[in-house]
């Protein structure tokens, strides 16, 4: 083998090594993004879980086993996230809805529904969710 042949093979080896390194770096970056999204969703779940100790959420006009004493008004919250992150948008909207209702002194939010969303249909704007409900005070 002469020097030109060796250098030719060496160039190919370097090119393949760079390609494999690039693929590995991209896979590692995507893996970190997935872990970060998962951690963010878990943090949202924890925050929602803590608020559920203070306020009930129901899609029906009443909270099961409780009686509504007073309606405090309509509460609305919007959650947004990038395309493909519908769960994040929904959790943000739910969190906002609970926080707004608590600020009114509510014990529960009833009749919670997606605004602008027909039953059984996909959201009109992917990555954006609007929740609406009625803040209520429950009977002791």
Q: Which two tokens stand for residue 78?
A: 């919007």
pLDDT at 15 over 60: yes
The proportion of the chain whose per-residue pLDDT surpasses 70, expressed as a percent, equals: 90
pLDDT at 100 over 80: yes
User: Is the entire prediction scored with pTM above 0.85?
Assistant: no
Give me the pLDDT at residue 122, please: 57
User: Can you list the positions of beta strands (E) in 16-127?
Assistant: 56-57, 68-80, 108-114
The domain ranges of the chain are 1-53, 56-138
- Looking at 3.20.20.10, 3.40.30.10, 1.10.3230.20, 3.30.110.70, the CATH number of the domain 56-138 comes to 3.30.110.70
CA distance 78 to 36: 22
Between strands 128-138 and 68-80, the pairing is antiparallel
| pLDDT tens figures, 51-72 | 999 999 999 999 998 999 999 9
Average pLDDT for residues 35-41, to the nearest whole number? 87
Average pLDDT for residues 95-100, to the nearest whole number? 96
pLDDT at 109 over 90: yes
Cβ contact 97:90 at 8 Å: no
Give me the pLDDT at residue 47, please: 94
Average pLDDT for residues 93-117, to the nearest whole number? 92
CA distance 64 to 51: 18
pLDDT at 101 over 80: yes
92 contacts: CB under 8 Å, gap ≥ 6: 44, 79, 80, 81, 129
Tell me the pLDDT band of 11, cut-offs 50, 70 and 90.
confident
Average pLDDT for residues 9-24, to the nearest whole number? 90
């Amino acid at each position: 083998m002469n020097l030109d042949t060796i250098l030719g093979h060496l160039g190919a080896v370097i090119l393949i090594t760079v390609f494999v390194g690039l693929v590995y770096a991209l896979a590692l970056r995507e893996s970190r993004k997935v872990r970060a999204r998962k951690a963010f969703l878990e943090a949202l779940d924890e925050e929602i879980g803590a608020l559920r100790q203070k306020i009930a959420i129901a899609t029906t006009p009443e909270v099961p086993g409780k009686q509504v004493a007073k309606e405090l008004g309509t509460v609305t919250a919007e959650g947004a996230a990038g395309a493909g992150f519908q769960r994040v948008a929904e959790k943000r909207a739910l969190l906002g809805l609970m926080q707004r209702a608590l600020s009114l002194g509510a014990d529960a939010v009833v009749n919670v529904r997606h605004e602008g969303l027909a039953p059984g249909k996909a959201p009109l704007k992917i990555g954006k969710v609007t929740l609406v409900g009625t803040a209520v005070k429950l009977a002791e």
